[in-house]
Every structure is written in structure tokens, then in C-alpha cells.
Amino acid sequence: MPMPPQNAFYAQSGGVTAVINASAAGVIETARQHTGQIGTVYAGRHGILGALTEELIDTSQESAATIAQLTHTPGGAFGSARYQLPRFEDNRAPYDRLLEVFQAHHIRYFFYNGGGDSADTCLKIAQVSAHLGYPIIAVHVPKTVDNDLPHTDCCPGFGSAAKYVATSIREAAFDLASMARTSTRVFLLEVMGRHAGWLTAACGLAAAQDGEAPHLLLFPEIPFEEAPWLARVEAAVQQHGSCVIGVSEGLRHPDGTFVSAAGGRDAFGHTLLGGVVPVLAQRLRSTLQLPCHWAVLDYLQRAARHLASQTDVQQAYAVGKAAVEFAVQGHTAVMVTIVRVSDQPYEWTIGMAPLEEVANKEKHMPLAFISADGFHITPACRTYLAPLIQGEAYPPFKHGLPEYVRLTNRAVPKKLRTAFTL
């Protein structure tokens, strides 16, 4: 007798992106095509917390048209969270609770949409659930604007953020050049990238020719030394009249400490950063007496769906779709990957990687992508980055503003009598 369809759990984790909801649409729409194997897709309200607290969202209550609109809506449609599961050996209570919720709601498929820490969560659930006798098919759906997941050519979310930062720094450079004679001479733009300088490198795409802004890039992979940097800024101002600098939030001193360390740590144990560009701007004012302006893109770079990359949107949907297809084939403890087939013309396909080779690992910028002086990108880096920002995927507009969808997010009735304390 065939086994009845089992339900699926989908959740979003960590910092969201402009296209993470496209992955959600890929998961939900594809699951609806596999009704013989997957029943209902339940979404976790605020990531894995939704499973622990039994706050599940019934996505079957959303129309096909509404789910389709997720492909052009930024943010996390079901809410995200930063929460790290402990080691099973240290505290098994969260795992017992997860399996209790999954059993109560007949959930056998687990799709977790996030970065490296989310890959760790997905792996733990696959391993522990099998160990405890209620095996869950767990597939990691990749996303991160940091582009630092291993075994995938790129990460959904990065291409759109890259397009946004490159556009922003190019437009700011035009503004700066207009005013530099009697006003600001240096502009610094801070972008995300705690340990990997992929978004900093993307700023470099704005310089189509030698001498164009940004004139300098500061990568986390290259230890920051003040004297040579000051010399290069001064030379750029003398040569071009102004200087535009793209800076990674994770810029480090030669001893490994962050230039902008603010003290404290986040839920995953990462050092909290306090903003590096105001620190650098102050040094420029005090040493070179140069008028400076700076900006921290922060949430803007990962929320800017109005300027998304068409390539990125397509890849984000594809990894969600593939996650379901891999799961119904029986693959577990894997991450969906993007495989580059060729650079010109740009072609890609879908693959998979074992989560044991992904969880808690980071892919840094290759030194071959950074110029010999450490202050810009190489042609090889341009070849890698350029296809990822290609294509426009504008959302619909209404009354002059982007029109995004808000789901009803109807809760699934709770079945457990006990609550879980986080």
C-alpha cells in the first residue's frame, strides 16, 4: 500500500535578500506539483523558531497568483530569525521538540533557506532525526548576499545586491565629481561582507575604464594598513579631483581584529560590527584634511528588489524548485548548488553538494580576483561577476512605487499541549 503524502516544512533564516521569496515560490509551486508525495507546505513563522514554538503557516491557503507574486517581493514573506541549534550532545531538548512538532503535523520534508549557519541547522536536523527514529529529508536552499557558501558558483541574493552596490557607487561617484572642487573630496561606501569581499568586489564593476570610480576597494581578505592607504587616497584626489572608496564591513587590521569592532556577538557568535567607514573618514579628515562623506548601505543592499538582477531571480527560483525535486527523489543532507557551465555566453545549471562540506564553511575571494596592489579587482574577477548582475527584473509599480505582496500567513491550529521556551 503506497505511503500517503507527507507534509513539508519550509523556513527562511538569517539576513534576507531581495530574492529569497523567489526561492520560497520555487519550493511551494513545485511542491504543489508533487501532490502524490508532498501534502501541504507549512512555513515556519520566523524561521526555525516557528517549528520550535509550533507557529506554522499554512501556505495552501494562499492562491497560486499570490505565491507567484513572491518572485518580485523582497524581505522574508514568513519572517526570518537568527537562531543556532545547540549540539545534540549538549542539549537534546530542541531536537525532541522539533520532532514532536514534525510528527504531530506529519512533516517529513524540511527545506531551510539560508546561508552557512542555516546549512549547519539543516545538517543537524537530517542527522539527529535519523538517529532518533523519525528521519526527515532535509535539503538546504542557499541564499546569502555575502556569496560565501562553498561548492556553488554563486549564492542567490548576491547578484541583486551586487547590481545594487555597483549602481549606487557609480551614481554617487557622479555626484561627488560634480561637487569636488568646492565641497566633498572623498566618498566612502560600506557594503556587507564580514569575512568575504564579494560585494566589495562588485563595487569595482562600476569602474568600466581605468581611472573611473571607485578608485580604491578595501577587502577583508587584505589586511588594512593605514599608511599606504592614505597615500593612495591622496594620489587619487590629486589625479582625479576626488576619490571614491568601496569598503567591506569586515575590514581587518594586520593582527586580525576588525577595524569597526563594536563589542558583543550576535546569535551565531559573530562579532558585532559598528561601521567601518566613519572610522576611516575620521582618519582622512585628521591626517589629510580632506572633506569626506560616507554611507552605510546596510539593509538597502539586500532589500533593493526594484533593481534586482534577472539572473539572480531565475537562480533563486531554480534552487527552490530543485530542492523539492531532490527531496522527492530521496536526497537528504544536501544543498542545492549553481554550477557555471561557461562564462561567455554565461550558462549555468543546477547541482548538489553534501551539507557536511558546506556547513560552517566560507568561500573567500580568490587572491587572483584582487589586483596585485590589493586595492581593486582583476579582469578575472570581472569575468566572474559580470554575468551575475545581468538582466532587469523590475517589480510591478503602482502610484509610482513598487507593488509588493503581503501574504495572509494563516496559522495552522496547534496540536501540542506543551509550549517550548526559547
Residues with active-site annotation: 146
Distances (CA, A) of 390 to 134, 384, 393: 44, 12, 10
Distance CA(38)–CA(42), nearest Å, equals 11
In sequence order, the 6+-apart residues with CB closer than 8 A to the CB of 420 are 52, 53, 54, 94, 97
Quote the strand ranges of 90-229, DSSP E: 107-114, 137-142, 186-191, 216-218
Please answer whether residues 315 and 322 qualify as being in contact, where contact means their C-beta atoms are separated by less than 8 angstroms.
Answer: no
Helix (H, G, I), strand (E, B) or coil at 218: strand
Q: What are phi and psi of 23, to 5 degrees?
A: -65, -40
93-104 and 116-131 helices, crossing angle to 10°: 80
In terms of Cα–Cα distance, which of 327, 345, 302 is closest to 192? Answer: 302
How many CA atoms are closer than 13 Å to the CA of 96, on its beta-carbon side? 9
Distance CA(11)–CA(76), nearest Å, equals 9
Q: Is 61 exposed, middle or buried (0-12, 13-18, 19+ CB in 10 A)?
A: middle
